[in-house]
Amino acid sequence: MHVFVKSFGCSTSLAEGAVLAGCLAGAGFEVVCSVSSAELVVLNTCGVKGPTEDRMIEVARRISMKKSLVVAGCLPLINFERLQKEVRFDGVVGPAAGERIVGVVKRVPKGEKVVALESQNELPRLDLPRVQMSPVTSIVPVGLGCLGSCAYCCVVAARGHLRSYDPGDVVERVRKDLSLGLREFWITSQDTACYGRDSGTDLAELLHAICSIDGDFRVRVGMMTPNNALSMLDELIGAFQDERIFKFIHLPVQSGDDEVLERMHRFYDVEDFKRIVEAFRERFPAVSLATDVICGFPGESEEAFQRTVELMNEVRPDVVNVSRFFPRPKTAAASMQRDFVPVPEIRRRSGVASALARKISLENNRRWIGRTGQILVDEVGKIPGSWVGRNFAYKPVAVKSSSASKLVGNLVSTRITGAFQTYLKGQIVR
């Protein structure tokens, strides 16, 4: 049977999709590269936001009209009722299915409608086969679930509470992928900062263990919730001193107002967030900061929103992922109807925050013009003869080369010649 696997959402979901494809290929299925070539499609879904859920439902509808369909990932556990009502599927399974996907897909040709949403506490093995998506980048999940109870988040309904991989298994995965020629490792989880809290270790210790591996590679650390990062701040900064770790932190603040943060069930305040940023910038002045902001959370006043704007102006993040609030199933915020902000106002606030984020990002990027340094080329550019790499602060740098040899996977000395909102332009230094 010809099977196509399509994944959406976060880096963890992408890694899980690669494993689904690898397990199916190992079981004798022919994994193809397009829907048109497939007899059965595995749709590995995301459902974190309302518009994302709408998109998943629409994609699933279109596929199910022509192909057998197995829906996997977070959406089935976030809103199974809607999925069952609006999509004709042949099978359904939750996130991190691993080898279980093989049994589900094998049953579909027999005419069964397979619903395999039973609770799965065991973590899929890190050495399961994968269909590698990149010749350079390896996404390494270090755990599933988190320790949070955010009022707006429905992902905990899909992924549950924290289960961390053994650090030895993570190190072995990195070591093996490095031997295969992969050089950029994304350490990922729903919250990497809570890694190991269920097993007596932590993220800083894991990073030290990874960096004990000999070799020339780079590590990108995934999203860290501020309160968990703060609890090991000195140790975390110590781990980041290894030159192979990208000087990049993703620290979602969500709001610049402490009362809103309390209503969100976020266990930190604005000063905690600023303290972490200041500590990283003191040690690594060029560190890249990414953060997240939700506009229009129930009860957010205009004054509260303005405090978020003020925080953005003060902290000046390199990347701000601006989201509009949408009530999600099985969340505390969905029951706060009395305090809902009108949709037009949410849209306005989102526009203001997004415009400011773009302005700050461009101004920050212009500071790189004239600097020279190495980038690790990790993808082919959209324009023929162009390539994209990452510098030490994980800034994307686009370069051109007339060389017949491929640059992907190589370190290239580059001088920054231009700046845009989302990337830098560079010239290769011979």
pLDDT in tens, 339-372: 999 999 999 999 999 999 999 999 999 999 999 9
3-state SS class at 203: helix
Are residues 25 and 99 both part of a single domain?
yes
What letter does residue 366 receive in the DSSP assignment?
H
Q: Does an H or E element contain 343, and which?
A: helix 343-366
Are residues 356 and 391 both part of a single domain?
no
| Mean per-residue pLDDT, 388-392 | 97
Query: How far, in Å, are 190, 201, 261 from residue 156 at the CA level?
Result: 9, 22, 18
| Mean per-residue pLDDT, 229-233 | 98
Please, which residues have CB within 8 angstroms of residue 55's CB and are 6 or more apart in sequence?
8
φ and ψ at residue 376, rounded to 5 degrees: -95, 115
Has residue 17 been placed in a domain?
yes
pLDDT at residue 384 tops 90:
no
Are residues 357 and 376 both part of a single domain?
no
Q: Which of the pair, 297 or 408, is modelled with greater confidence?
A: 297
Query: Which residue in this structure is represented by tokens 């880096």?
Result: 11
Q: What pLDDT was estimated at residue 120? A: 67
Q: Does an H or E element contain 111, and which?
A: none
Has residue 127 been placed in a domain?
no
Query: 116, 149, 170: which is the final residue of a domain?
Result: 116
Q: What pLDDT was estimated at residue 119? A: 67
| Distance separating alpha carbons of residues 43 and 184, to the nearest angstrom | 26
Number of domains in the chain: 3
| Distance separating alpha carbons of residues 375 and 391, to the nearest angstrom | 4
Domain enclosing residue 277, as ranges: 137-366
Are residues 15 and 86 both part of a single domain?
yes
Are residues 155 and 59 both part of a single domain?
no
φ and ψ at residue 280, rounded to 5 degrees: -65, -40
Are residues 106 and 197 both part of a single domain?
no
Q: What pLDDT was estimated at residue 122? A: 80
* Chain mean position to CA 148: 17
Are residues 38 and 104 both part of a single domain?
yes
Residues forming a β-bridge with 246: none
Domain harbouring 79, CATH code: 3.40.50.12160
Q: What pLDDT was estimated at residue 419? A: 98
Query: What percent of the chain is modeled with pLDDT above 70?
Result: 99
Query: 116, 151, 172: which is the final residue of a domain?
Result: 116
Secondary structure E strands in 117-154: 137-141, 143-144
The answer to whether 87 and 60 have CB atoms below 8 angstroms apart is yes
Query: 366, 385, 412: which is the final residue of a domain?
Result: 366
Are residues 376 and 361 both part of a single domain?
no
Are residues 243 and 379 both part of a single domain?
no
The answer to whether 276 and 232 have CB atoms below 8 angstroms apart is no
Q: What pLDDT was estimated at residue 145? A: 94
pLDDT at residue 404 tops 60:
no
pLDDT band (50, 70, 90) for residue 121: confident
Are residues 169 and 228 both part of a single domain?
yes
| Mean per-residue pLDDT, 224-248 | 98
List for the chain the helix, strand, coil content (%; round to 5). 35, 25, 40
Beta strands 424-428; 30-31: pairing state: unpaired
Has residue 326 been placed in a domain?
yes
Are residues 287 and 410 both part of a single domain?
no
Are residues 394 and 350 both part of a single domain?
no
Has residue 121 been placed in a domain?
no
Please, which residues have CB within 8 angstroms of residue 91's CB and are 6 or more apart in sequence?
69, 70, 71, 104, 105, 107, 108, 112, 113, 114, 115, 116
Give Dmax over CA atoms of the chain in angstroms: 63
φ and ψ at residue 367, rounded to 5 degrees: -70, -15
